[in-house]
Amino acid sequence: MSKAAASLRNCFFCGKHIPTDAGMMLIKNDGSIQWTCSPKCKKNLRLKRDPRKLKWTRKYVKGGIKVKK
């Protein structure tokens, strides 16, 4: 059971599934935990890039994003 639960992580940045023994944990100042699948995602997350604007992420939105103000 715990093995299955551990494998349900998704990358906080690109949204891709992270294998149980992979990924990197980022702990933010407010104590929340973010998992990233690769150094690439970690870097982009640190730079506060919007994954919806990057084609290689699962969160990419075709034709641009609509931002509510």
State the nearest-atom distance from the C-beta of 31 to Zn ion, in Å.
Answer: 22
CA 8, 49, 58, 16 dihedral sign is: negative
Q: Is 45 in the site for Zn ion (CB under 5 A)?
A: no
Is the four-CA dihedral 1, 20, 41, 62 of positive or negative sign?
negative
Least Å distance, CB 61 to Zn ion, is 16
Residue carrying the six token digits 């990924």: 23
User: From CA 69, how far away is CA 59, in angstroms rounded?
Assistant: 20
Binding to Zn ion (CB under 5 A) within 2-21 occurs at 11, 13-14
Closer residue to Zn ion, CB minimum distance, 1 or 27:
27
- CB 54 to Zn ion: min, Å: 10
